[in-house]
Amino acid sequence: MSITLLSTSLCIFLLAAIGWFLHKLWWTPIRVQYILRSQGIKGPPYKFFHGTTKQVINMRDESISNPMNLSHHILPRILPHIYAWKKLYGKTYLIWQGSQAQLVVTEPELIKEILNNKDGTYSKGKPDVYATKLLGDGIVVTEGEKWSKLRKIANHAFYAENLKGMVPAMTASVDAMLERWRHHDGKEIEVYEEFRLLSAEVISRTAFGSSYLEGKNIFDMMMKLGVIIGRNSFKIRFPGIGKFVKSSDDIESDKMKQAIEDIITAMIKKREEKVMRGEADGYGSDFLGSLMRAKNEADEKNRISVDNMVDECKIFYLAGQETTNGLLAWSVFLLSVHTDWQEKARKEVIGLFGQQNPNADGLAKTKILGMIFNETLRLYGPVVNLLRKVKREVKLGKHILPADLDVYIPFVALHHDPEIWGRDVQLFKPERFAEGVGKATNNNITAFIPFGFGPRICVGSNFATNEAKITLSMILQRYKFTLSPNYVHSPFQMLTIRPQHGIQIMLQRL
Ligand code: HEM
């Protein structure tokens, strides 16, 4: 190739690259901003390349730099930009994750329209490069036929009858935890870590027929991956840059992804070999067993691949642990402060179970516990936000949204909105849920969606609430607890809402 031809090709390539970048980083954002502004949707102006991410990072760093007082007014701390900009720009407004436009939606009616959509207009979108290593292409991310197939398997594994069968395994795990607590009688204990171990043990036993120790490496690596995701969540990357230049986070997260997948593959192989050797007469009725049957399904339409199986295991290890951990820890925190509700809950538990372990029939009759968990999910719900991508131009309320826009639904803003919940919005008042969610929200049911809404609603919500009810019941049967003077109130977001320095309570045996 002559030098002239080479340099001409290089020039064309460079010009095309510059054109592509200008289109993506300047022209498209400006166009989207114009389209939405002309419909009255405001927001902080787009800044070249960074969008509004620098402002968001600064506001978040500032908001979590100090502990807060013991109030439940956590929106300005967890999502300070949403808190500040909602006041300035209204309930629906535009922000920028780099050059990606994100429409923040906090009106329940619009949220219902988005989450209830069934024709694929609002898709799940693609998680960022690090979250993809954690979630793979499993049920949380995927769509269409593949999603229906995976959802059917998960629904079956976590449906009501199967959950009843899990109660003994759950009580056994809580028993083991409470055995450890004996060493803390009359003393302090940090419950976030306790519930982390417990929820990991419960999901390992009930869904995968293994113990926490077997899954320990998976959980440890998932936690580290979670830290990397948190660290990078507002960093902007040049598209495709990871193929050429790898950061230390890229290398570390690749290693962890591979190691998690290797352990899961070995676990699947172990169960398969057990069946082949005749040591078990079937794959088992737990979630792993359901996945293995689907992998060996005769009808190709219903069959799933080994990669699908590995992704599903990853997701359920993660979803089954992280979220329930938060629900339990924050409800114990709230009851350690609001001891009148702790007494009410104890009375209900003793009335239903006496000193016996909880059973499925009694769990279905609990009312006070349900109200307490709802109020905990409202104030400190583990999932902070949902994201959807607009696939094609669509009418939402009175607005026309362009394709490729992200829709960002911040649960914390919705659940802490005084216009929905009243002036006592920041107070712990489980009595708001005494007559159900409909009454608590004035029949605005999408005002309270800790488990999501519509076809993608959480598949493990009953599993999580059962586990939480069993655990809290067994604690209340044995202990009174108050908040330790060592507790520092610092809720922050790392995947879910967590207590930055743990939750320390004082245990007093009954
Ligand atoms: C307090 C506990 C939990 C909370 C607050 C919670 C919250 C959520 C939310 C908000 C979604 C909807 C995501 C979306 O629409 O994009 C979701 C989906 C999901 N959750 Fe949960 N979750 C909890 C516990 C669990 C547990 C224990 C499991 C598994 C055993 C689980 C498995 C899943 C799965 C697989 C999905 C994806 C469903 C789909 O896309 O079809 N979750 N969860």
Question: In order along the chain (510 residues), what is the average pLDDT of each group of 10 residues?
Answer: 78 85 89 96 94 94 93 97 96 95 97 95 87 88 92 90 91 95 95 94 89 80 86 70 78 90 89 83 85 88 89 89 95 98 98 97 97 98 96 96 97 96 97 96 94 96 96 98 97 92 97
Atom of ligand 1 nearest to the CA of 124: 16
150 Cβ closer than 6 Å to some ligand 1 atom: no
Atom of ligand 1 nearest to the CA of 327: 1
CA angle, 169 then 172 then 175, to 5°: 155
Sign of the Cα torsion 495, 499, 500, 502 reads negative
Q: Which domains are assigned to the chain?
A: 16-120+384-449 (3.30.43.20)
407 Cβ closer than 6 Å to some ligand 1 atom: no
Element (H, E) at 73: none
> Ligand 1 centroid vs 319 CA: distance in angstroms?
6
382 Cβ closer than 6 Å to some ligand 1 atom: yes
User: How would you classify the pairing of strands 406-410 and 100-105?
Assistant: parallel
Atom of ligand 1 nearest to the CA of 454: 15
Distance (Å) of CA 322 to CA 150, 328, 479, 484: 21, 10, 25, 24
> Ligand 1 centroid vs 375 CA: distance in angstroms?
18
> Ligand 1 centroid vs 405 CA: distance in angstroms?
24
The annotation status of 11 as a binding-site residue, yes or no, is no
Cβ atoms of 81 and 63 closer than 8 Å: no
The pLDDT of residue 210: 79
The pLDDT of residue 35: 96
316 Cβ closer than 6 Å to some ligand 1 atom: yes
499 Cβ closer than 6 Å to some ligand 1 atom: no
The three-state secondary structure class of 31 is helix
450 Cβ closer than 6 Å to some ligand 1 atom: yes
199 Cβ closer than 6 Å to some ligand 1 atom: no
Dihedral class, residue 471 (left if φ above 0, else alpha if ψ from -120 to 50, else beta): alpha
Whole-angstrom distance, CA of residue 107 vs CA of residue 321: 30
Distance (Å) of CA 154 to CA 139, 204, 275, 326: 9, 15, 22, 22
The pLDDT of residue 372: 98
Residue 393 main-chain phi, psi, to 5 deg: -50, 135
497 Cβ closer than 6 Å to some ligand 1 atom: no
> Ligand 1 centroid vs 277 CA: distance in angstroms?
36
Mutate to test the pocket of ligand 1, among 323, 380, 389, 414 (most ligand atoms within 8 A of CB): 323
3-state helix, strand, coil in the chain (%, to 5): 60, 10, 30
Q: Name which residue sits closest to atom 19 of ligand 1, judged by CA.
A: 458
89 Cβ closer than 6 Å to some ligand 1 atom: no
Whole-angstrom distance, CA of residue 200 vs CA of residue 210: 11
491 Cβ closer than 6 Å to some ligand 1 atom: no
Q: Name which residue sits closest to atom 9 of ligand 1, judged by CA.
A: 451
> Ligand 1 centroid vs 463 CA: distance in angstroms?
10
Instruction: Count the residues in the chain.
Output: 510
Whole-angstrom distance, CA of residue 373 vs CA of residue 367: 10
| Beta-carbon contacts of residue 443 (< 8 Å; ≥ 6 apart) | none
**What's the token pair of residue 260?**
């998690």
114 Cβ closer than 6 Å to some ligand 1 atom: no
Q: Which of 27, 39, 43, 34 is nearest to 104 (CA)?
A: 43
353 Cβ closer than 6 Å to some ligand 1 atom: no
> How many whole angstroms from its chain centre is CA 174?
23
> Ligand 1 centroid vs 464 CA: distance in angstroms?
9
Q: Which of 458, 438, 508, 442 is nearest to 479 (CA)?
A: 508
**What's the token pair of residue 172?**
């056994």
